[in-house]
Structure 1
């Protein structure tokens, strides 16, 4: 028996109203190299906790890497002008050399000459600083005194872990029996759709004949 168009439309409405809503959120992708939210206290602290120096600097030149026995190395030393030491003994107004350590994802890292970056480096000698090719830098724009103060605090003061929120006790007069919407699993909803569809078809058949 071919169902009338209005019956098909009614079944569609019932189906969509009972099925659980689909999640529209896209799964989070891994953070890109050089990406860091400077307002994220935890991320800034964790990034700076494993390095010796954190400072804002300007890339003035990128030198070709040379291997001891000749040839060109993957890592290219960067000549960086230290502008704002944040967690560092490096003096402002001096030049340091930063060489990026290759990772599995990045064989060579070359930053833009003239670009301003937040560096996370290892090493005690200004001419031999190293940084991770993915997590050893972050682009900086619009850094003011307030942001400098905030970053220094983020880098030195560990974030306070959030306490788990206590579950609210249900009211004394609350019905202990879960409502129908909570009891219905996706399978139960599909079964209910079938039952309602059969009921609707039966009623339409009686009206037709």
Structure 2
């Protein structure tokens, strides 16, 4: 497993890929989808997502990019988009605790939760537009300047609070924008060019 799951009145999911900065591999995304589906059926009081002190999630894991194709990459991005939508629609409270870096798809995981407990030293970054992937763009536009404001000061207070009203969200528009962006030919080459331009080692390509 790429994550640790603690079940109880509140469920806690800890991303557990420390050697990859908790980057979202295909396996980790599928594991998260399974947990979100299970929690939707079990209805715990809350689902808490955590990383570690250095990294919440470093984004889309591009380790092995040379073996990917436009089609496999597009499928992985669409699965992440589906994960975000299922978190947004969860029938219970969701809380993200980000103590370390949250980048790209990792930052979108934070925004998909009802409460976002973000350490003051953490900056949410969304580099997807640099290689033409529209992941989470509709959601970020809907949130506007409420990206991380208004979050409770502690996990305990977040878990005691009622689930806040969720902003109106157009899931169809979100997934359609993502699908259009990843369908543009040359996806793998655009991502490779971005990785090269940021001087990321081939084994540390996060987006």
TM-score (norm 1): 0.20
Relative to its length, the structure with more helix (as a share) is 2
TM-score (norm 2): 0.20
